[in-house]
Chains A and B, each alone.
Chain A
């Protein structure tokens, strides 16, 4: 579709901030318009990259699962981690990728909890890999719009 959803959202947000907002005097109305613009900016920011981020994240989690297999002594957990490590994304709709991401992350939390109970350098190595994954998770959900919002609040909106 042209223009893209991203362009439409971003343009409407810019219009609200530069044209509508300065003309509004009522404090409540000002806040509502600013919030609307910020939410549209958020939609624009996440629209293009969401699918790629989810695919990358799912693949990275699977690689981590496969690398963790040698240190897992709990057979039930090991079987589930092994199966998850072999899985692939078949449906590339965002809703489907997101559901798979949630399933993988649920297992990831369980694996992390388990690894924390283990001694030894191999477990620590996996734990470092887990924290790298958490860092990526955080960065995928870091929005420029959040920082813009903080600046807007600082300017009194």
Chain B
């Protein structure tokens, strides 16, 4: 941490050349994510005689990222939604040059007085505001999908072109099947049969190609005791696609295991779907939505497979990577089996 402190002070000095007496008051790592290192940093400095301090979040890539994410995509997504009805943290700096902190990173203002652990919706005081938060979550999701997609430019290395409405499903399925092929440590018969079913039974074309968050779920937004959602986070998988992908992803029972008919332990799924429909003007066609829910299980499984591999090969030996990969694989497998049973009936 001492090295990081010195590196960060050096960077602040580079960004604010007039700043003097730059000091780090507090630095702590925020654990939980598996694809980035995240730190909360409070630093102070004097500028034109004034004593100033800032609380920021530093997000930097691991040397070996678990998923094929691009820091720039996440930055571009945050940038696209600054000062809109999709709450995101305020951005400060992005840096691609590894000379400062060894890997690319970006810095944004920290939102305090909130938390991301959605399991708190099972306990007071958050239990009392879970409905409000759930309604807001679904509305924000809809707000993303009605935006002009051209405001967002995926980062270099990510797919830049917009798919045709009938291509959205194939582009995503091809990507995640290829990802699983690259990372598989053993055969996955249920996973493979689901992919074949998805290919044989494509959904209806997207009603509109929109910005898709890509990881739209409880656990990826900051909320407070009033049930307000202050920021939607983790945009590294953002892309152009079918908005039903996000809606289906948000319905994944994995994130509502203790109360499975809810969206992220918040509101009933039918209520959430209705709010999204009212916000977007789109229709959640049941068959297409089911397709995207099966896809969600496939995509999620591919992500857990990559986590398993990252731990097994020693690339990332954080305990959360090990246990998260195993726990999520187990539960997602149960979900996918039930989905395939329904698909076959």
Q: How far is the CA of A61 from the CA of B269 in the complex (A)?
A: 39
Q: Is the interface of B mostly helix, strand, loop or mixed?
A: helix
Q: How far is the CB of A135 from chain B (nearest CB, A)?
A: 7
Q: Are A38 and B323 in contact (CB under 8 A)?
A: yes
Q: How far is the CA of A149 from the CA of B337 in the complex (A)?
A: 21
In the complex, B113 has a CB within 8 A of chain A: no
Q: Are B187 and A108 in contact (CB under 8 A)?
A: yes
Q: Are A143 and B337 in contact (CB under 8 A)?
A: no
Q: Are B193 and A134 in contact (CB under 8 A)?
A: yes
Q: How far is the CA of A151 from the CA of B187 in the complex (A)?
A: 30
Partner of A138, one of B123, B257, B322, B333: B333
Q: Which residues of A contact B334 (CB under 8 A)?
A: 138, 142
Q: How far is the CA of A142 from the CA of B331 in the complex (A)?
A: 8
Q: In the complex where A36-B319, A151-B258, A156-B117 touch, is A109 in contact with B187 (Cβ < 8 A)?
A: yes
Partner of A156, one of B119, B258, B333: B119
Q: Tell me which of A2-10, A12-20, A27-35, A65-73 binds B.
A: A27-35
Q: Which residues of B contact A32 (CB under 8 A)?
A: 319
**Chain B contact patch, size range:** 20 to 34
Partner of B123, one of A105, A116, A156: A156
Partner of B189, one of A38, A105, A142, A145: A105
Nearest A-chain residue to B191, judged by Cβ: A109
In the complex, B29 has a CB within 8 A of chain A: yes
Q: How far is the CA of A153 from the CA of B327 in the complex (A)?
A: 12
**CB-CB contacts of B207-250 with A at 8 A, as 1s and 0s?**
00000000000000000000000000000000000000000000
Q: How far is the CA of A2 from the CA of B76 in the complex (A)?
A: 58
**Chain A contact patch, size range:** 35 or more
Q: In the complex where A35-B320, A36-B319, A105-B187 touch, is A143 in contact with B330 (Cβ < 8 A)?
A: yes
Q: Which residues of B contact A42 (CB under 8 A)?
A: 323, 326
Q: Are B189 and A112 in contact (CB under 8 A)?
A: yes
In the complex, B92 has a CB within 8 A of chain A: no
Q: Are A150 and B258 in contact (CB under 8 A)?
A: yes
In the complex, B192 has a CB within 8 A of chain A: yes
Q: Are A102 and B187 in contact (CB under 8 A)?
A: yes
Q: Are B319 and A141 in contact (CB under 8 A)?
A: no
Q: How far is the CA of A39 from the CA of B318 in the complex (A)?
A: 12
Q: In the complex where A28-B29, A39-B322, A113-B196 touch, is A146 in contact with B189 (Cβ < 8 A)?
A: no
Please name 5 further chain A to chain B contacts, defined as beta carbons within 8 Å, in addition to the given A106-B187, A134-B193, A138-B334, sorted by A numbering. Answer: A134-B337, A135-B337, A138-B333, A141-B329, A154-B119
5 A-B contacts, Cβ less than 8 Å apart? A35-B320, A39-B323, A141-B329, A154-B119, A154-B258
Residue ranges of A at the interface with B (Cβ–Cβ < 8 Å): 28, 31-32, 35-36, 38-39, 42, 98, 101-102, 105-106, 108-109, 112-113, 116, 131, 133-135, 137-138, 141-143, 145-146, 149-151, 153-156
Residue ranges of B at the interface with A (Cβ–Cβ < 8 Å): 28-29, 31, 117, 119-120, 122-123, 186-187, 189-190, 192-193, 196, 257-258, 319-320, 322-323, 326-327, 329-331, 333-334, 337, 344
